[in-house]
């Protein structure tokens, strides 16, 4: 029995399937059977806990939180349709109205504006989490702007804010986004196109998680943001990426997206960044191109020293088969004396550097390989030993993910266990065919 049905059954003093569940005539106007309903005798704090458990909770996915969309078939709206006393109770509990997602082609912005107004009023002054997603170009931009004006009017209450907006929106009117929001911990902004906008997040004292996929740049007088712990960002020029690292000196997880318009060659003139707080680095080069020096993100890696690096992820579509020695990733590990525990190499990666990264990672526990071109390299590197007395490379390896045939990994396990069954450390294998 689901919680919602259990509450309804308790309210009707019966069980699912009985005549009382389906016949409104049996429910007196006062809300009970003969004027009496056991659940109405529950202490308010217990009833409040039941209501909170019935409200859809945000779904946590990698790098994003999916907030619930309003629906009359889900709490809290559904709870207010049971009886007058429940409606009064639900409307008086502001914490039931603090999470809301709008857009995603479910309704028009004009209707969402009414819903947003109700949610803001019912949540009173409680911190609120909002996700506003209007990526369909057919939306009326004026309606979206009006809805955003309503969102901005409660900026002092933001706790989580996700914006996915058309480029035609009136960005100059969004400048309050970057004014003081004392409760704001997570800020995600997604837009496409448009002129670059200068932003200043200095006044966000609680902000720890920042995502920027928009035509934005940090203001020239921007102060350090030492509270930031996670960043996922795409900038128009390479110097913005370095500046972001300088401003977020305490960041722990970095994921940078590079478009095909980024020229990495200016990285050479940048000073070395020693960043002891970073434990996870992800570099994603978008689009597929043949190798060209200007697209070589290795020059960016050469300016980093990350002593506490534990996870390295790269995703590049650059074809590196025709270039000479390329050792930027393994040089980063060696220069940082990193104790790598997780390594993900999606799509294209230089063959020699991939093998060297494995050799330098005796503590590696998790490995993801996203290209069948590297399958044999991985197989040979993990299973071949020049001296049978020596342990295999990556002896602590526990988890391997592949996006091609599982046969390669089966051979890997077979080779590593055929000599000595006690050397088998790979416990979990995932294949995406």
Residues 264 and 400 grouped into a single domain = no
- From CA 171, how far away is CA 210, in angstroms rounded? 18
- From CA 85, how far away is CA 31, in angstroms rounded? 8
The whole-number pLDDT of residue 175 equals 67
Task: Find the helix or strand (DSSP H, E) in which 109 lies.
Answer: helix 109-122
What is the per-residue pLDDT across 66-76, written as a single tens digit (0 to 9) for each? 888 888 888 89
| Residue 293 belongs to some domain of the structure | yes
- From CA 327, how far away is CA 348, in angstroms rounded? 14
Assess contact for 401 and 368: CB atoms under 8 A.
Answer: yes
The whole-number pLDDT of residue 125 equals 92
Beta-carbon contacts of residue 429 (< 8 Å; ≥ 6 apart): 399, 400, 401, 402, 406, 409, 413
The whole-number pLDDT of residue 20 equals 33
Stretch among 144-148, 371-375, 402-406 having the lowest mean pLDDT? 402-406
Assess contact for 170 and 145: CB atoms under 8 A.
Answer: yes
What average pLDDT does the segment 387-393 reach? 78
The whole-number pLDDT of residue 433 equals 43
Domain count within the chain: 4
Residue count of the chain: 433
The whole-number pLDDT of residue 272 equals 96
Residues 129 and 199 grouped into a single domain = yes
- From CA 53, how far away is CA 38, in angstroms rounded? 19
Residues 187 and 133 grouped into a single domain = yes
| Residue 6 belongs to some domain of the structure | yes
What is the per-residue pLDDT across 36-62, written as a single tens digit (0 to 9) for each? 567 777 787 888 888 888 888 777 666
Tokens matching residue 353: 């550097």
- From CA 17, how far away is CA 4, in angstroms rounded? 14
Stretch among 12-21, 170-179, 371-380 having the lowest mean pLDDT? 12-21
Residues 106 and 166 grouped into a single domain = yes
Place of tokens 């569940």: 21
The whole-number pLDDT of residue 159 equals 94
Residues 175 and 204 grouped into a single domain = yes
The whole-number pLDDT of residue 174 equals 61
- Quickly state the pLDDT bin for 105 (edges 50, 70, 90): low
| Residue 74 belongs to some domain of the structure | yes
* Domain that includes residue 262, residue range: 241-250+257-277+284-364
Beta-carbon contacts of residue 30 (< 8 Å; ≥ 6 apart): none
Q: What is the mean pLDDT of the chain?
A: 79
The whole-number pLDDT of residue 82 equals 84
| Residue 228 belongs to some domain of the structure | no
Report the DSSP beta bridge partners of residue 431: 402
| Residue 290 belongs to some domain of the structure | yes
| Residue 48 belongs to some domain of the structure | no
Task: For residue 169, give the nearest of 103, 231, 107 by alpha carbon.
Answer: 103
Burial bucket for residue 401 (CB in 10 Å: 0-12, 13-18, 19+): middle
Helices (DSSP H) in 288-406: which residue ranges? Answer: 298-301, 328-336, 351-359, 375-383
The whole-number pLDDT of residue 119 equals 94
- Quickly state the pLDDT bin for 242 (edges 50, 70, 90): very high
Residues 37 and 159 grouped into a single domain = no
The whole-number pLDDT of residue 329 equals 93
Last residue of one domain, picked from the residues 364, 385, 412: 364
- Quickly state the pLDDT bin for 15 (edges 50, 70, 90): very low
Residues 31 and 70 grouped into a single domain = no
- From CA 250, how far away is CA 84, in angstroms rounded? 51
What is the value of pTM for the model shown? 0.81
The whole-number pLDDT of residue 355 equals 86
Stretch among 25-29, 111-115, 278-282, 324-328 having the lowest mean pLDDT? 25-29
Task: For residue 263, give the nearest of 232, 233, 241 by alpha carbon.
Answer: 241
- Helices (runs of H) and strands (runs of E) counted in the chain: 12, 19
What average pLDDT does the segment 404-415 reach? 52
| Residue 388 belongs to some domain of the structure | yes
The whole-number pLDDT of residue 296 equals 86
Residue 5 has pLDDT above 70, yes or no: no
What is the per-residue pLDDT across 176-226, written as a single tens digit (0 to 9) for each? 667 778 899 999 988 876 677 788 888 888 999 999 988 788 888 889 999
Last residue of one domain, picked from the residues 317, 336, 364: 364
Most confident of 28-32, 224-228, 385-389: 224-228
Residues 208 and 332 grouped into a single domain = no
Assess contact for 312 and 339: CB atoms under 8 A.
Answer: no
Residues 349 and 404 grouped into a single domain = no
Last residue of one domain, picked from the residues 313, 345, 364: 364
The whole-number pLDDT of residue 172 equals 57
Residues 152 and 213 grouped into a single domain = yes
- From CA 239, how far away is CA 208, in angstroms rounded? 22
The whole-number pLDDT of residue 14 equals 39
Residues 422 and 305 grouped into a single domain = no
Positive or negative: CA dihedral 240, 246, 250, 254: positive
Higher pLDDT, 151 or 191: 151
| Residue 97 belongs to some domain of the structure | yes
If one counts every other C-beta atom within 10 angstroms of the C-beta of residue 81, the result is 11
Residue 93 has pLDDT above 70, yes or no: yes
Q: Kindly report the backbone phi and psi dihedral angles of residue 320, in degrees, each rounded to the nearest multiple of 5, phi listed first.
A: -105, 10
The whole-number pLDDT of residue 34 equals 53
Residues 314 and 397 grouped into a single domain = no
């Amino acid at each position: 029995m689901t919680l919602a049905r259990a509450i309804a059954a308790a309210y009707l003093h019966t069980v699912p399937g009985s005549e009382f569940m389906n016949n409104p005539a049996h429910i007196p106007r006062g809300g009970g059977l003969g004027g009496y309903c056991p659940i109405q005798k529950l202490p308010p704090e217990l009833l409040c806990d039941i209501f909170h458990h019935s409200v859809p909770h945000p779904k946590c996915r990698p790098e994003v939180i999916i907030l619930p969309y309003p629906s009359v078939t889900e709490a809290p709206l559904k709870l207010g349709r049971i009886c007058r006393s429940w409606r009064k109770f639900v409307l008086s509990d502001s914490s039931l109205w603090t999470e809301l997602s709008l857009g995603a082609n479910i309704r028009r912005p004009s209707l969402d504006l009414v819903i947003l107004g109700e949610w803001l009023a019912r949540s009173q002054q409680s911190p609120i989490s909002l996700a506003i997603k209007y990526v369909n170009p057919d939306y009326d931009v004026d309606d979206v702007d009006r809805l955003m004006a309503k969102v901005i009017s409660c900026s002092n209450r933001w706790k989580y804010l996700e914006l996915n907006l058309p480029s035609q929106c009136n960005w100059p009117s969004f400048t309050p986004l970057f004014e003081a929001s004392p409760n704001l911990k997570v800020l995600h902004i997604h837009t496409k196109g448009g002129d670059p906008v200068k932003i200043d997040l200095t006044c966000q004292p609680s902000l720890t998680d920042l995502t920027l996929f928009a035509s934005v740049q940090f203001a020239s007088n921007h102060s350090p943001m030492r509270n930031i712990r996670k960043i996922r960002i795409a900038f128009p020029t390479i110097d913005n990426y370095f500046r972001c690292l300088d401003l977020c000196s305490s960041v722990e997880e970095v994921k940078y997206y590079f478009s095909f318009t980024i020229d990495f060659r200016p990285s050479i003139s940048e000073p070395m960044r020693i960043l002891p707080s970073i434990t996870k680095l992800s570099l994603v080069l978008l689009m597929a191109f043949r190798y060209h020096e200007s697209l070589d993100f290795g020059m960016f890696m050469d300016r980093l020293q990350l002593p506490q690096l534990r996870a390295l992820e790269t995703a590049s579509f650059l074809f590196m088969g025709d270039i000479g020695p390329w050792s930027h990733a393994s040089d980063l590990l060696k220069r940082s004396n990193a104790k790598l525990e997780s390594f993900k190499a999606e799509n294209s990666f230089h063959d020699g550097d991939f093998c060297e990264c494995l050799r330098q990672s005796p503590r590696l526990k998790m490995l993801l390989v996203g290209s069948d071109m590297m399958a044999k390299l991985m197989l040979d590197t993990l299973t071949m030993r020049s001296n049978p007395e020596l342990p295999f490379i990556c002896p602590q390896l526990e988890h391997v993910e592949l996006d091609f045939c599982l046969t390669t990994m089966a051979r890997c396990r077979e080779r590593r266990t055929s000599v000595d069954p006690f050397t088998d450390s790979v416990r979990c294998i995932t294949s995406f065919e």
